[in-house]
Structure 1
Amino acid sequence: MKKIAVALVALMSLTAAADAQTPKDLIAALKVKWNTPTEPFKMIGNVYYVGTVGLASYLITSPQGHILVDTVMPESTSQIKANIEKLGFKIADIKYLLNTHAHIDHTGGLAEMKQASGAQMVAGEADKPLLEGGYYPGAQEDTALAFPPVKVDRTVREGDTVTVGDVTLTARETPGHSPGCTSWEFSVKDGDATRSVLIFCSGTVALNRLAGSPTYSGIVTDYRKTFARAKDMKVDVLLAPHPEMYKMAEKRAKLAEGGPNPFVNPGEFNAYAETLEKAFEDALVKQTAAAQEKKG
C-alpha cells in the first residue's frame, strides 16, 4: 500500500498543478516528460509498450493482426510508429485503434495512426463527440487541450468486445475522468498461467471541475460509479495511460533481472482505486467549498 501511495503522490501532482496553472501552462510543463522517447519492450505475453517515458501506448499482437490502445501527444506519434517497427511489427497490420479517454495526451496521434494503418477506431460511446470534435469536455474553445479530430468507426458500452484472431478485449465502463472513459480487460498467457489484464482508463480528477460549473453533467455520479465497479474487479496485471500509475519504470527494471513477471500483481488495482476514490472525495469537498465561497 505504501508503494501505491508513493506512486499516487507523483500522479496527483497533475491535480495540484491544475489548481495553480492554466491548462496551457500545465501542458507545457508536462510536455518534456510526455515527449521523451523510450525503448519499446515486451511487458507480458503478447503485450508490448510502444509509448514514451510519460505516456503509454500498448500494442497487443496476434498472427491475424494487432490492436493499438491509446497514442501520445500529436508531435510524438512518429515515436509510436518507430517503436512498433523496431519490435518487428507492421503499422499496416494494426486492425483496431482503441482509446481509453478523449484527452490530448492519449488521443493526439489517433488520426495519424488511423490514416497510416487503415485501422478501425473504437471508443466509449460518450467520448465519440469529443474525439470527432478534437476538444476537451467543457472546454471546447481551449486550444491548449485541442487535438486532431478522428472519426470513430464504432462505439462501445459495458461488456462490448473487440476481437482480432484469438485476442479479445472487453470494454469496461469507468466514466468520470472523461464521460466515455473506457477501461479494457483481456487475458494473456504468462508461461503456463493465464493472467487477467486491465488497461485502466483513469480515476484522477486532474483538470476536471466537480462543483460549481462541472466539466460535464453527471460527472460526480460517474466517478462514484467507477469506484464502486472497481471494488468487484479482479485484476492480475494493471496497466494505464500514464506509466507512473502502475510504477512501470520500477517493474521494467525488475523484468530485465529475470524471475517472476513483476507486472503480475493481484490486488494492486483495487488498492490503487481505493486511493483514487479518497483523492476524488477530497477534491470534491475542496471544489464544493470554493464554489460556495465564490457564490457568496
Structure 2
Amino acid sequence: MAAALALPAAPANAASSDPPEWTQPRPPLHLLGPITYVGTRGLGAYLIRTSAGAILVDATMAENVPAIERNIRSLGLKLSDVKLILVSHAHFDHVGGLERMRHDTGARVLAGSGDVAALRSGTPPGETSYGVHRFPAVTRVSPVADGEQVRLGDVTLRAVATPGHTPGCTSWTMRVVDHGRAREVVFAGSMTVAGNRLIGNRRYPAIVRDYRATFDRIERLHADVVLPMHPEAADVFARARVGTLVAPRLLGDMARAARVDFERTLREEKR
C-alpha cells in the first residue's frame, strides 16, 4: 500500500484499518504559485491552475472523489476545467478514485509507463505482505516516459521515474515563481517499502535494484518545495501555515531516511 517517502508503512491488511485521515475531508489550501491542495487530511491531491485549464496530481481513494470535486468547484472551477490528471503510482489509495475522476472531468490521464498495465487492469503491480487491493480499472490512460515533459497552457511538468514502490512510480517536477523567486517543486512519488516483498517478488523481480536507483536519484534531485502524496510526510499543512514550504534539504533527508528503512527491511527478509 502506498505511503509517501519517509512515512512509516501504513496499515494495509483491510480497508477498515486504513488511517482515518485518508478519508477525512479538508478545505482547499493554497500552497504557492498556481498550486492548491485539494486532497483529504491524509492523501494528497494537488490542483495546478494554468492558462488553459487545470492539472490534478492524483485522485486518491474512491471514497474521496466527491470531497475533492467539491474542493475544485469551491475554487470557482468546473470539473471540465481539469484537463490532465497525473498519477504518482498504481496503489488503490492513490488511484482508487481515478476512473471516476477521469469520467467526471473528461481529463486525460498520464502515468509512468511501468504502471499503465496495472491501471488498465485494476490490479496493483508486484507482490506484497498484505495481499491484493484492487481498484476500478482506468479505461483510458497514456504512458509517460522518464524525463518526458507535459505541458498545459503556461505550465510544464517533467516526469521523473522513481520506481521501486511500484514499477511506474513517478515524481513530477515543475518550476513556480513565488514572490518573485523561482522555486523547483517536486510532487514526490513514494519511496517506502510499505509491505512490498523485496525477496522473491516474482511479479517485480527488479524491485531491489529499482529502489536503490531511486534513492540515488532522489538524493541528487533538487527541490525547493516537496509536496508528497501523503502530506504529513513533509508536514505540508504545518509548513504552509508558518511559511516554511521552501526547504531545500528536505527531499534529500527523506530519501536517506527511506534508504535506511529499506535496507533494514531487506536484511530482515533475508533472515
TM-score (norm 2): 0.93
Distance change in 2, residues 1:147/1:31 (3 Å): farther
Partner of 1:134: 122
* Cα shift at 1:13: 4.6
2:219 maps to what in 1? 231
1:247 to 232, 235, 243: 235
Q: What is the SS of the residue equivalent to 1:145? A: coil
Deviation, structure 1 residue 63? 2.3
| Counterpart among 175, 184, 189 of residue 187 in structure 1 | 175
Q: Any conservation in 2 of the 1:101–1:181 contact (CA below 8 Å)? A: yes
Stretches of structure 1 lacking an aligned partner (at least 5 in a row): 1-6, 255-260, 290-296
Whether 1:174 and 2:162 are equivalent positions in the alignment is yes
Q: Secondary structure at the match of 1:71?
A: coil
Does the residue aligned with 1:175 lie in a helix, a strand or coil?
coil
The 3 A distance-change label for structure 1 pair 119 and 13 is closer
CA deviation string 1:232-257 (max 9, x = no partner)? 21110001110111112321332xxx
- Map of 1:265 onto structure 2: 247
- Listed as ranges, the gaps of 5+ residues in structure 2 are none
1:29-50 Cα distance to aligned partner (Å, 9 max, x none): 2252210011111111000100
Deviation by residue 1:205-245 (Cα, 9 ceiling, x = unmatched): 00200013455110000001101111221110001110111
Aligned-partner residue type, residue 111 of structure 2: A
* 1:279 match: 261
Contact 1:160 1:171 in 2 (8 A): yes
Aligned to 2:8: 12
Cα shift at 1:71? 1.1
- For residue 189 of structure 2, the aligned residue among 193, 201, 214 is 201
Corresponding residue SS for 1:271: helix
RCO higher in 1 or 2 (8 Å CA, sep ≥ 6)?
A: 2
Name the TM-score, length of structure 1 as normaliser: 0.85
Instruction: Return the offset for 1:112.
Output: 0.8
Q: Secondary structure of 1:222's match?
A: helix
Matches of 2:9 and 2:171 in 1, distance apart? 23
Whether 1:124 and 2:125 are equivalent positions in the alignment is no
Aligned with 1:115 (options 99, 103, 111)? 103
Alignment partners' CA distance in 2, 1:171 and 1:13: 25
Match of 1:154 in 2: 142
Tell me, in whole angstroms, the C-alpha distance in 1 between the residues paired with 2:199 and 2:76: 48
TM-superposed CA distance for 1:263, in Å, is: 1.0
CA RMSD of superposed structures (Å): 1.8
d(CA) in 1 for partners of 2:47, 2:153: 14
**More helix per residue: 1 or 2?**
1
State the match for 1:101 in structure 2: 89
Are 2:71 and 1:75 equivalent residues in the alignment? Answer: no
C-alpha spacing 1:215/1:170, structure 2 compared with 1 (3 Å):
same
Once the two structures are TM-superposed, the CA of residue 153 in structure 1 deviates from its matched residue by: 3.4
* Structure 1 Cα separation of the partners of residues 19 and 197 of structure 2: 22
